[in-house]
Chains A and B, each alone.
Chain A
Amino acid sequence: MKFWRKPLDSDQIELPHGRVHIIINRCKGCGFCIKYCPCQVLEFAEEFNRKGYHPPIAVKPEACVNCGLCEVMCPEFAIWVTEDGNRGQSDGDEEVTNESGR
């Protein structure tokens, strides 16, 4: 995470870490989450979803700080974050829920 000015107690504060969940086939590709993610975690995916939109994909999942802005901005209820406790063991794969249907 980039700071405009390094906080004095930055070595004592542990950044929270979140895990992004995306229901690909519910997305309508508006891009709100991608544009307004403060840590630039998301990008448009190359492939299409079932509706024909490009859903977001977490390209930098380790940068997520569990702020939840994508969750509250998403008009389709297709993306949310959960607290990810074991940051050190993160293998870099975002959790993607492939819900069938909607």
Chain B
Amino acid sequence: MKHTNSQADRQIADGKHHPLEPYLRMDRIPHIWCSTCGLGTCLNSFLTAVRNSAIPRENIAVVSGIGCTGRTAGYVNLDSFHTTHGRAIPFATGLKLANPELTVVVISGDGDLVAIGGNHFIHAARRNMDINIICVNNFNYAMTGGQFGPTTPETARTTTAPYGSFEHPFNLPFLADSCGATYVARWTALHVRHLTASIGEALERRGFSFIEVISPCPTVYARRNRLGTGLDLLQFYHDNSVIKNGIDTRECDIRFQEQLIIGKFVDEEKTTFHDTMTGYLKDAVGEKYVPYVGPMEMPGNGD
């Protein structure tokens, strides 16, 4: 039985339940995320965007990897996939290829997507796979105890960098942009309205979209660097964020506790992997080529 999003909303009209409860697996709430962590806010923004979008719920699939952010797939009441470490994008690619009608969203952390899964990330962007990536960046591997990773800013202290990290970190929007992503944005856990609108935009459009969300990690990253709680970090984002839409992504490096450049950096149209494949093979193979359109439309299915 198909439910539209507005039908789901009507079920909770009694005022005793949160309007997003139909989108959550309530038997798993409360979630494990710490008090003042930004992940709950990111999930809230994503689910609000899903609720506001016209895409039916059964056409959205959420894929996540391992880590604090990786828990997201277990909390959403949508088709979801909790995959092995770093491999969220390959699973999402497979889902999208098998059923091109799905809107596939990968919600995972920086450690999962650009550290162990970095190779998958650049190749999905290169192919312009029609998937949406929401990368929650908290600058460290939070779940395993706060080790430094490829996004830890220089001089930031972590469990495994007690004198401060001395590596050059990734500039994620630049990485995504240079690999061919067609939609690149960066917001923080404070900019919930922008973030919700951006996720909604990404859900509606075709092509590889990448949204980086800067999120506070009060338990390890902020504690090691004596930055206070997540609430203090939100205040830091409030005071030091500058929205520069359409800026060259090379200019949005993140330095430790310095100005954060946020906004929508890239929004362009490019043929997706599926369209390129179908178009190219139709020319190359000719009459014999039967384009794959999805599991329900194949002969013998859906009887």
Q: Which residues of A contact B (CB under 8 A)?
A: 21, 23, 26, 28-32, 35-36, 53, 69, 71-78, 80, 82, 95, 97, 99, 102
- In the bound complex, CA of A69 to CA of B45 (Å): 11
Please, which residues of chain B bring their CB within 8 A of the CB of A32? Answer: 36, 41, 231, 234
Q: Is B44 an interface residue (CB 8 A)?
A: yes
Please, which residues of chain B bring their CB within 8 A of the CB of A77? Answer: 18, 20-21, 24, 29, 40, 44
B234 — nearest CB in chain A belongs to which residue?
Answer: A32
How many chain B residues touch A (Cβ–Cβ < 8 Å)? Answer: 33
Chain A nearest CB, measured from B20 CB (Å)? 6
Please, which residues of chain B bring their CB within 8 A of the CB of A102? Answer: 26, 29-30
Please, which residues of chain B bring their CB within 8 A of the CB of A76? Answer: 29-31, 40
Please, which residues of chain B bring their CB within 8 A of the CB of A29? Answer: 35
Contact A75 B18 (CB under 8 A): no
Contact A21 B15 (CB under 8 A): yes
For B29, give its contact among A26, A72, A82 (CB under 8 Å): A26
Contact B35 A28 (CB under 8 A): yes
- In the bound complex, CA of A18 to CA of B142 (Å): 37
What are the 8 A-B residue pairs with the smallest beta carbon separation, nearest first?
A75-B40, A28-B35, A30-B36, A77-B18, A72-B192, A75-B41, A30-B35, A80-B18
Please, which residues of chain A bring their CB within 8 A of the CB of B66? Answer: none
Contact A75 B231 (CB under 8 A): no
Please, which residues of chain A bring their CB within 8 A of the CB of B229? Answer: 30
Contact B19 A74 (CB under 8 A): no
Chain A nearest CB, measured from B250 CB (Å)? 31
Q: Could you name 14 residue pairs across A and B whose Cβ atoms are closer than 8 Å?
A: A28-B30, A28-B34, A28-B36, A30-B35, A30-B229, A32-B41, A35-B234, A35-B235, A72-B44, A73-B192, A75-B38, A75-B44, A76-B30, A102-B26
Chain A nearest CB, measured from B199 CB (Å)? 11
Chain A nearest CB, measured from B239 CB (Å)? 13
- In the bound complex, CA of A76 to CA of B19 (Å): 13
Contact B193 A72 (CB under 8 A): yes
Chain A nearest CB, measured from B99 CB (Å)? 29
Which of A72, A77, A78 has the largest number of chain B CB atoms within 10 A? Answer: A77
Contact A30 B231 (CB under 8 A): yes
Q: Is B16 an interface residue (CB 8 A)?
A: yes
- In the bound complex, CA of A57 to CA of B75 (Å): 27
Chain B nearest CB, measured from A43 CB (Å)? 15
Chain B nearest CB, measured from A65 CB (Å)? 15
Chain A nearest CB, measured from B103 CB (Å)? 21
Contact A82 B15 (CB under 8 A): yes
For A97, give its contact among B16, B30, B231 (CB under 8 Å): B16
Q: Is B230 an interface residue (CB 8 A)?
A: yes
Please, which residues of chain B bring their CB within 8 A of the CB of A35? Answer: 231, 234-235
- In the bound complex, CA of A53 to CA of B196 (Å): 28
- In the bound complex, CA of A35 to CA of B41 (Å): 14
Chain B nearest CB, measured from A71 CB (Å)? 7
Please, which residues of chain B bring their CB within 8 A of the CB of A71? Answer: 18-19, 44
- In the bound complex, CA of A52 to CA of B15 (Å): 25
Please, which residues of chain B bring their CB within 8 A of the CB of A28? Answer: 30, 34-36
Q: Is B33 an interface residue (CB 8 A)?
A: yes
Given contacts A29-B35, A30-B37, 14 further A-B contacts (CB under 8 A): A28-B36, A30-B231, A32-B234, A35-B234, A36-B234, A69-B193, A71-B44, A72-B44, A75-B33, A76-B40, A77-B20, A97-B16, A99-B16, A102-B26
Chain A nearest CB, measured from B275 CB (Å)? 34
Which of A35, A75, A97, A102 has the largest number of chain B CB atoms within 10 A? Answer: A75
- In the bound complex, CA of A26 to CA of B24 (Å): 14
Q: Is B134 an interface residue (CB 8 A)?
A: no
